[in-house]
Amino acid sequence: MRFTENDTVKEAVNAKEGRQIVASIRDLHKSFGDRDVLKGVNLDLFESENLVILGRSGTGKSVLIKCMVGLITPDSGTINVLGKNVFELSPKELNKLRLQIGFSFQGSALYDSMTIRENLEFPLKRNLGIYDKNKLKDLAAEALEDVGLLHTMDQMPAELSGGMKKRVGIARTLILKPKIMLYDEPTSGLDPITSMEINELILSVREKYKTSSIIITHDISSAKHTSDRIVALIGGVNKVEGTFEQLKETTEPELEPFFKY
Amino acid sequence: MGTLMESAKVFFAEFMKLRSFLQQVAEIYQFVTRVIRNFFVPPYEGREILRQCFFVGNRSLFLITFTAFIAGVVFTRQSRPSLASFGAESWLPSLVSQAVVRSLGPLITGLICAGKLGSNIGAELGSMQVSEQIDAMEVSGTRPFSFLVVSRVTATTLMLPLLVVYADVVALLGSFLTVNFFNSSSFSLYFNEVATNVTYLDVFSSLVKSAFFGFAIGIVGSYAGYHSEKGTTGVGKAANTAVVVAMIMIFVIDLLSLQFINLFR
């Protein structure tokens, strides 16, 4: 399945007829100095879908999802998330929208001066104004139980392994019950067994929380296990799109090696 | 033609440097106004400000006690022979108290805090920036600017005057012990002299000046950390910039405040 820039959207919608679009990106451009990173990306994320964005390092995958939450402002193009144009929102409205988007960072980004419990309680206190100790503890325990790390509640982030940190990072985003999950390289730097655990976790999050997810990765095994659909970002544009099985047959020179090795 | 091209290149490079400098000045201006605006806009960070106030005091108290005491002793020891040669030894409490309250106390406290707190804030926020912790706060809608920056700037602004008062007292105690060591002057006599010679204007101007020192230390440390470059070198650079710029700022504020206060003397 190969889309040109112009018909990508139309065909994607046709292919997924009947499913609601929760996020759409149109003609997104972003450059850093002389380097053009995104050169007109178009894509849609459907309800309850796991969309994998595959590509080599430095192709702008992380930049793309950072634009979706307003961390990076693109040079041009539009991003609609849950019916709202991200770049037309006031700071207050943007904060409100961000509560519905969970972002799992590549390096976990746990607050290293706080315990795991405080990490999880922090967004609850700050966003929802929950200060009841028992309620906070229950919610933190529930989120940690979902990622299988209840026993780490009173530990510091430095005491956890890389895989555990990633899971706690996911738990911290789940605590706000987001509608969309954005995973930035969820398996990078992990051994194959831990990677598989993270892949299973991504699937179970979708099941339990009914989230739509974008998973940024260059790990083909992770893409295979977690994806409903894959978009390959090559040279700053979404060149190839389809299921894992469809992409396996690709003749795109930059994509072929992913499936070969 | 070649020379013309070379000159154009040099001119362009200098222009770009100037442009980048002006851009940074504009960014700092925006940063300062954002801090001030956020200070008055709810939700207020009361709990975090108190926590930061504790850290500010706790981190610098020992060093301030140590240096202020020694400064009091040394200044008294250095001044005593000169005054004695004029037979004006009795003026020692007056001289020391004015020097300590007007300049030495605020300056010592400011410089110590610039080193201790400036580097701490710069490195702490810098490492949070590098490890994407600030981005994580941003995307979870937790308003990191108020939580991390406004609370730290408020804490340094509030705590510096208190630390200066403490440093003044410790320095004067050091001075009294030195005076007492050479010619047994009583505690009440010494501090009566101090109280007679230090005016309200001296105390008030010293407190206001030190609040500005605190504001500068908080702003410079936070700005350097919040805008730290990626990588471990970025954190080191942020801490270093915070200390150097904060120290320069303290001397500039000291000089400006002296000019301003002299209008009222």
Tell me what ipTM this predicted complex has.
Answer: 0.86
pLDDT at B95 over 60: yes
Question: Chain A contacts of B141, Cβ < 8 Å?
Answer: 95-96, 98-99, 123, 126-127
pLDDT at A100 over 90: yes
- For chain B, percent of residues with pLDDT exceeding 90: 65
Question: Please, are residues B157 and B211 in contact by the beta-carbon 8 Å criterion?
Answer: yes
pLDDT of residue A261: 63
> In angstroms, rounded to a whole number, what is the distance separating the alpha carbons of residues B132 and A155?
20
pLDDT of residue B121: 95
pLDDT tens per residue across span B135-162: 999 998 888 999 999 999 999 999 999 9
pLDDT of residue A1: 40
User: Which stretch, A7-21, B84-98, B196-210, has highest mean pLDDT?
Assistant: B196-210
Pairing of strands A180-184, A76-81: unpaired
Beta bridge partners of A180: A101, A212
pLDDT of residue B181: 85
Nearest residue in chain A measured CA to CA from B127: A112
- For chain B, percent of residues with pLDDT exceeding 70: 99
> How would residue B120 be classed by pLDDT, with cut points 50, 70 and 90?
very high
pLDDT at A15 over 60: no
Which one of A111, A121, A176 makes the best mutation probe of the B interface by having the most chain B beta carbons within 10 Å?
Answer: A111
Question: Chain B contacts of A73, Cβ < 8 Å?
Answer: none
Q: Which of residues 96-155 of A touch B (CB under 8 A)?
A: 96, 98-99, 101, 103, 105-107, 109-112, 122-123, 126-127
pLDDT at A2 over 50: no
> In angstroms, rounded to a whole number, what is the distance separating the alpha carbons of residues B161 and B206?
8
pLDDT at A16 over 80: no
- When CB atoms are compared, the residue of A96, A112, A123 closest to B140 is A123
Exposure string over B160-178, b if 16+ CB within 10 A, otherwise e:
bbbbbbbbbebbbbbbbeb
* Rounded average pLDDT over B92-121: 93
pLDDT of residue A10: 47
Question: Please, are residues B227 and B148 in contact by the beta-carbon 8 Å criterion?
Answer: no
> How would residue A226 be classed by pLDDT, with cut points 50, 70 and 90?
very high
> In angstroms, rounded to a whole number, what is the distance separating the alpha carbons of residues B36 and B150?
8
pLDDT at B68 over 90: yes
* Rounded average pLDDT over A186-197: 90
pLDDT of residue A56: 86
Question: Please, are residues B79 and B171 in contact by the beta-carbon 8 Å criterion?
Answer: no
pLDDT of residue A9: 46
Please indicate whether residue B84 or residue B175 has the higher confidence score (pLDDT).
B175
* Rounded average pLDDT over A128-138: 90
Mean pLDDT rounded to a whole number for chain B = 91
pLDDT of residue B1: 63
* Rounded average pLDDT over B47-71: 93
pLDDT of residue B262: 86
> How would residue B2 be classed by pLDDT, with cut points 50, 70 and 90?
confident
pLDDT at A107 over 50: yes
pLDDT at B64 over 80: yes
> How would residue B40 be classed by pLDDT, with cut points 50, 70 and 90?
confident
> In angstroms, rounded to a whole number, what is the distance separating the alpha carbons of residues A138 and A122?
14
